[in-house]
């Protein structure tokens, strides 16, 4: 909700202060599609599908303490169906992947929720690290983005980078001492919180603790970090190809695509079923306000980015669902079961 309000406010401000939106030209919008380089969009589709395989490998690695012989094919199938569900159902479809992996591997749903929490933690840290690095590269550069960000951002990025390293160290350290720490915290919470609130706190801490068990040794931690880095390099490659394909007249540098990726993925947290919403708004705002792209090609780029990133997976998801006897109605009911 907060992300939605921020995006709505930023969009309203940008649209009201940028006169280009009041002169939006439909013919120029349609003309921008004629300049799209389809080959780069196909590369982007290939890259985004590669991310699902990497995600499945990382999930399988974190699942080993619960089930050592987990099937990669089952996890990959659930991942593709899960991301297809997000495209159709919005963020409510996120639980589909958790439930389907638990069902196919015959493991408790709570253990898969714990892995999902840990996966999101790794992804969040990596996105922050990537954006911090890219902002440091863009700050002060002779470009619209560089002038917008300003050189003073470099000092802030150093502090954020240090915080990321500290959080990662704490995450690894908690692996060993989490149960003792949470026991003491819950003892104190029993004296301060209402029973209803305490139940939610205990559930959240238990799930996170179960996820930490997946980090059973430094080899696993290193493997998860490596796969997370590979995953986000593929995501950046996806958007880099989309930007080159949609806006071929601009000279896109890789660090600019990294900044773009981090900002628009924040917008993707507000995913309206079958429509997207926050993602497209974020793409348009970043392209027009940060990179100085005219509104018409920025809008067409937002539409194509959404189709590649969220909608291309729906067709293979449907095929896999048909093989398993699933329907969208089944998946939309999973949130209450989980």
For all residues of the chain together, what is the average pLDDT? 77
Check: CB of residue 264 under 8 Å from CB of residue 282: yes
pLDDT band at 2 (very low <50, low <70, confident <90, very high): very low
Gap between the Cα atoms of 66 and 73, Å rounded: 17
**253-267, 274-288, 308-322: lowest mean pLDDT where?**
274-288
Taking phi over 0 as left and psi of -120 to 50 as alpha, with beta for the rest, 106 belongs to left
Whether 26 is in a domain gets the answer no
pLDDT of residue 107: 82
Domain that holds residue 191: 37-337
Whether 30 is in a domain gets the answer no
pLDDT band at 246 (very low <50, low <70, confident <90, very high): very high
pLDDT band at 49 (very low <50, low <70, confident <90, very high): very high
More confident residue, 71 or 161: 71
pLDDT of residue 255: 82
Whether the full predicted model's pTM is greater than 0.75, yes or no, is: yes
- With 0-12 CB in 10 A as exposed, 13-18 as middle and 19+ as buried, what is 186? middle
Query: Is the pLDDT reported for residue 179 higher than 70?
Result: no
Among 25-29, 125-129, 160-164, 210-214, name the most confident range: 25-29
pLDDT of residue 5: 47
Gap between the Cα atoms of 133 and 226, Å rounded: 17
- Long-range contacts made by residues 75-79, C-beta under 8 angstroms, separation at least 24? 75/101, 75/104, 75/105, 76/52, 77/104, 77/320, 77/324, 78/104, 79/52, 79/55
pLDDT of residue 312: 93
More confident residue, 108 or 50: 50
Check: CB of residue 305 under 8 Å from CB of residue 239: yes
Check: CB of residue 163 under 8 Å from CB of residue 170: no
Gap between the Cα atoms of 268 and 91, Å rounded: 9
Average of per-residue pLDDT across 18-38: 79
Query: Is the pLDDT reported for residue 227 higher than 90?
Result: yes
Gap between the Cα atoms of 91 and 94, Å rounded: 5
Whether 32 is in a domain gets the answer no
More confident residue, 57 or 195: 57
Whether 241 is in a domain gets the answer yes
Specify the number of domains making up the chain. Answer: 1
Whether 253 is in a domain gets the answer yes
Average of per-residue pLDDT across 2-29: 58
pLDDT band at 1 (very low <50, low <70, confident <90, very high): very low
Gap between the Cα atoms of 124 and 4, Å rounded: 18
Q: What is the DSSP letter of 250?
A: S
Among 9-13, 59-63, 123-127, name the most confident range: 59-63
Residue 244 in tokens = 């080159």
pLDDT of residue 214: 61
More confident residue, 175 or 8: 175
pLDDT of residue 275: 46
pLDDT over 70, % of the chain: 60
Whether 189 is in a domain gets the answer yes
Q: Of 321, 316, 282, which is closest to residue 3 (Cα–Cα)?
A: 282
Query: Is the pLDDT reported for residue 167 higher than 90?
Result: no
DSSP reduced 3-state for 276: strand
Helix-then-strand count for the chain, H and E: 17, 2
Whether 277 is in a domain gets the answer yes
Query: Is the pLDDT reported for residue 169 higher than 80?
Result: no
More confident residue, 288 or 140: 288
Whether 283 is in a domain gets the answer yes
More confident residue, 177 or 327: 327
Query: Is the pLDDT reported for residue 21 higher than 80?
Result: no
**108-117, 211-220, 229-238: lowest mean pLDDT where?**
211-220
**169-173, 304-308, 334-338: lowest mean pLDDT where?**
334-338
Gap between the Cα atoms of 71 and 67, Å rounded: 9
């Amino acid at each position: 909700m907060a992300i939605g309000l921020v995006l709505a406010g930023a969009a309203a401000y940008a649209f009201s202060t940028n006169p280009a939106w009041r002169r939006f030209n439909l013919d120029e919008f349609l003309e921008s599609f004629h300049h799209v380089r389809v080959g780069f969009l196909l590369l982007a589709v290939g890259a985004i599908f590669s991310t699902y395989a990497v995600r499945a490998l990382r999930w399988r690695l974190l699942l080993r303490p619960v089930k050592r012989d987990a099937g990669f094919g089952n996890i990959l199938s659930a991942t593709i169906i899960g991301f297809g569900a997000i495209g159709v159902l919005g963020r409510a479809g996120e639980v589909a992947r958790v439930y389907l992996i638990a069902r196919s591997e015959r493991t408790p749903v709570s253990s898969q929720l714990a892995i999902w929490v840990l996966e999101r933690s790794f992804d969040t840290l990596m996105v922050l690290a990537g954006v911090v690095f890219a902002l440091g590269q863009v700050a002060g550069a002779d470009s619209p983005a560089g002038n917008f960000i300003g050189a003073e951002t470099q000092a802030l990025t150093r502090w954020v980078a240090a915080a990321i390293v500290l959080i990662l160290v704490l995450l690894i350290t908690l692996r060993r001492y989490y149960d003792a720490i949470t026991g003491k915290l819950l003892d104190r919470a029993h004296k301060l919180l209402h029973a209803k609130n305490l139940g939610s706190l205990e559930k959240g801490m238990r799930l996170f603790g179960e996820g930490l068990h997946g980090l059973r040794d430094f080899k696993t931690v290193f493997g998860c970090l490596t796969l997370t880095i590979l995953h986000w390099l593929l995501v950046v490659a996806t958007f880099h190809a989309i930007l080159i394909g949609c806006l071929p007249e601009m000279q896109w540098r890789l660090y600019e695509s990294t900044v773009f990726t981090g900002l628009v993925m924040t917008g993707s947290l507000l995913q309206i079923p079958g429509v997207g919403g926050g993602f497209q708004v974020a793409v348009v705002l970043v392209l027009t306000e940060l990179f100085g792209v005219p509104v018409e090609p920025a809008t067409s780029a937002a539409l194509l980015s959404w189709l590649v990133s969220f909608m291309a997976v729906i067709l293979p998801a449907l095929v896999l669902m048909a093989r398993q006897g699933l329907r969208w109605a089944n998946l939309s009911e999973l949130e209450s079961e989980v």
